[in-house]
Amino acid sequence: MRVLFTWVMIGLFVAFVLGILALGVYSPRSGADVLDWKSSRPAEDPDEEAAQMLAAANAIRRRRGLPERTEDDVRNDL
């Protein structure tokens, strides 16, 4: 009797997980739509944004006593 109960519980759990996954796969809305996520601002100039991010990362590296990175360093790591 205990074995039957165990298999029924496992089956219910698997059915629940598959049901949740099916809801996600067949939902007409994306996760961003459900959460109403929008970009805070559109990317006007990607090169300028990359330069700003590199400048911010270098400021943190300077505070930690590490050498600054150049755009070429970053490109070589990709």
- Read off the pTM: 0.45
Q: Evaluate whether residue 14 is within a structural domain.
A: no
pLDDT tens-digit series, residues 39-60: 777 767 777 888 899 999 999 9
Residues of the chain with pLDDT > 90, as a percent, come to: 46
Q: In this structure, is the dihedral angle defined by the CA atoms of residues 76, 59, 40 and 42, taken in order, positive or negative? A: negative
Centroid of chain to Cα 76: 24
Q: Evaluate whether residue 22 is within a structural domain.
A: no
Q: Evaluate whether residue 57 is within a structural domain.
A: yes
CA distance 45 to 52: 11
pLDDT of residue 77: 84
Counting the structural domains of the chain, the total is 1
Q: Which residue has the higher pLDDT, 13 or 42?
A: 13
Which domain covers residue 62, as residue numbers? Answer: 48-73
pLDDT of residue 28: 86
pLDDT of residue 24: 85
